[in-house]
Amino acid sequence: MQEVIIQGGRPLAGKVSISGAKNAGLPALAASLLTDDFVTIHRMPDLKDIRFMGSLLEDLGCEFSFQDGTACVRALAIGGNPSYERVQQMRASICLLGPLIARLKRVNMPPPGGCVLGQRPIDLHLHGLTALGCEIFIQNGLICASANQLKGATVSMGGVFGSTVTGTINVICAATLANGTTIIENAAREPEVADLCRMLVKMGAKIDGIGESTLTIDGVEQLHGASHELIPDRIEFGTFLLLALAGRGKLELTKMDAALCGAIIDALAESGAEFEEIGNFFIVHGERSNLRPMHLETLPFPGLPTDLQAPLCTLFTQICGESSMLENIYPDRFTHVGELRRMGADIVMDGRRAVIRGATHLSGAPVMIPDLRAGACLYSAALLARGESILRGIHHVDRGYEIFDEKLRKIGAVLQRREIMQKDGCEKI
C-alpha cells in the first residue's frame, strides 16, 4: 500500500498533455470481442482499469497486448465466463455482457458490485438486451443470458435522469450482430458512446445517429478488425482545468474539442473564468480569473458531468461567497465532503446538494481517498492547502488518471509517494 505526501500552496503553471479517455477505452476493449480479427486501439491510457479489462479479456481466451499507448486484442478462440472475484473489482466489467451474448450466444456472469457511489443497478442493461430477444434470468448470483439469434427491436434506454452510459453501450454492441434493425431511443449521448460507435463502424457495423439520443443499427453477419484512436479524456481535462482555476495558475492543456466538454466550459466562463485557444493548446488563465459563486447540478451529457462534481467542490472552496452543487446522478457521491471539511472547507449538506462557502484557506491534513473522482478532488485540495497532506487510498486515483503524480510535478507540484510502513500487521498510524 502506498501513500502520497503533498507539500501544498505551491504555484501551479505549465503544460499538461491529456491522455486518451478511460471511459472510451474500456468499452472499446470489450467491443473487441465482437470479431475474431485483430482490433488495435491507439491513445489507450495506461491505467489500472484498462490493464484489468485486458486481463478479463485474457481470462476469456483473447490475445491482449498493450505497449506505448496502443492496445491490441484478438478474440479468436474465446469461451468461459467472467468470474465473480474479477467482475466484482470493476463496475465497467458489465461492458462485457453485450459483446459476449452477441459472440457466444450464452454467458453467465455476476452483476458488477455496487461501489461508494451507491447502488449501481443494471435493470436497463437487462431490459435492453431482453428486447433484442435475449433470455435472461438471475440464478445463484449470476446473470444467465442466452440468445440463439438476437433480433432487431426498438429499445428505450431512459432512466430517471437521462440514460445509462454502459447500458447503451451493451445494447449497441449486441445490436451490431442482431438480425434486423434496432432503434435505440434515449441512448446516452456521452462522447465515449459516440467514440465507440465510430470504432464499431470501422469494424463494419452499420450505425446511424451517432452522438444523438436515437441510434439506428442495422445488424450484420459479422464484424472485422479495425484500428481506432480514442478521444481525449474530458474528465482528466476538466480536472486540470478546475485545478488551474482553484490554484489561480495558468495551465496549457492539450486542446480538446469543445463539443466533448459539454456544459462545464460555459458555466465556468459565465462565472468569470478566462480561457484562450492557441494552436493545439487550450489555455486556462487561472491567474486572472476572478470567479463568481456558481449553483450547478450534474446531468447526463451534454450537462455537467457527475465525474467532475467532486473536483468542482474543491474549486468552490476557493470562490468568495456561497456556491452549491446538486448531484442528480449518484445521490451518495459526496464521500469527499468529510475529508474536505477536515481540511477546513465550509460545506453544509442539504440532501443531494452541497452548499459551499468560500474563500477558505485549506490546511494540509492526513486524508483517506474513498474513490476515483474524490481522489482527484482531495489531491487538488492538498495542492492548494497550506502545509503537508498525506493521502492514502491513492490506488483509486491510479485507476483513472494516467501518470497523475508526474503530470502534477511538471506543473510545479511538490509530492512524493512512499510505501506505508506496516507495523504489527496494521497500518502505522
Closest CA to 45 of 404, 411, 401, 407: 401
User: Out of 123, 270, 276, 332, which residue is the one contacting ligand EPZ (CB under 6 A)?
Assistant: 123
Number of residues in contact with ligand EPZ under rule CB under 6 A: 22
Please, which residues have CB within 8 angstroms of residue 17's CB and are 6 or more apart in sequence? 254, 407
Nearest to 100 by CA among 116, 114, 81: 81
SS3 of residue 68 by DSSP: coil
Q: How many CB atoms lie within 10 A of CB 353?
A: 15
The residue within the footprint of ligand EPZ, chosen from 121, 276, 416, 427 (CB under 6 A), is: 121
* Edge-to-edge strands, sheet with 281-285: 14-16, 250-254, 281-285, 275-278
318 in contact with ligand EPZ (CB under 6 A): no
Report the amino acid identity of residue 49. Answer: D
Q: How far is the CB of 403 from ligand EPZ (least distance, A)?
A: 17
Instruction: List CB contacts of 85: < 8 A, sequence separation 6 or more.
Output: none
Q: Give the residue, chosen from 4, 16, 26, 41, that forms a contact with ligand EPZ under the rule CB under 6 A.
A: 26
Phi and psi torsions of 166, nearest 5°: -70, -25
Cβ(40)–Cβ(70) below 8 Å: yes
**Helices and strands (H, E) in the chain, number of each type:** 15, 27
| Type and span of the H or E element at 237 | helix 234-247
Q: How far is the CB of 304 from ligand EPZ (least distance, A)?
A: 10
Selected from 167, 238, 358, 393, the binder of ligand EPZ by CB under 6 A is 167
State the Cα–Cα distance between residues 407 and 171, nearest whole angstrom: 36
Looking at 74, 189, 373, 396, which residue binds ligand EPZ (CB under 6 A)? 373
Q: What mask of x and - would describe binding to ligand EPZ in positions 174 to 213, judged by CB under 6 A?
A: ------------------x---------------------
Q: Which is nearer to ligand EPZ, 164 or 289 (CB)?
A: 164
Q: What is the spatial order of strands in the sheet that 70-74 belongs to?
A: 63-67, 70-74, 38-42, 226-229
Least distance in angstroms from the C-beta of 386 to ligand EPZ: 29
**The binder of ligand EPZ chosen from 72, 226, 329, 365 (CB under 6 A):** 329
**Are 316 and 304 within 8 A, CB to CB?**
no
Q: Give me the catalytic one of 72, 115, 320, 426.
A: 115
Concerning whether 115 is annotated as a catalytic residue, the answer is yes
- Is 43 among the residues that bind ligand EPZ (CB under 6 A)? no
> Please, what is the minimum distance in Å from the beta carbon of residue 196 to ligand EPZ?
10
Q: Which stretch binds ligand EPZ (CB under 6 A): 67-75, 121-129, 237-245, 347-355?
A: 121-129
Q: Please, what is the minimum distance in Å from the beta carbon of residue 121 to ligand EPZ? A: 4
Which of the residues 84 through 113 are near ligand EPZ (CB under 6 A)?
91-92
Phi, psi of 406 (to 5 degrees): -65, -45
Query: Does 307 interact with ligand EPZ (rule: CB under 6 A)?
Result: yes
- Per CB under 6 A, the list member of 93, 166, 324, 360 interacting with ligand EPZ is 166
Per-residue interface string for the shown chain with ligand EPZ, residues 395-414, x marking contact by CB under 6 A: -----x--------------
How many CB atoms within 10 Å of residue 57? 22
Q: Which stretch binds ligand EPZ (CB under 6 A): 32-40, 74-82, 163-171, 276-284?
A: 163-171
- Binding residues for ligand EPZ, rule: CB under 6 A, are 23, 26, 91-92, 121-125, 159, 164-167, 192, 306-307, 329-330, 372-373, 400
The catalytic residue positions are 115
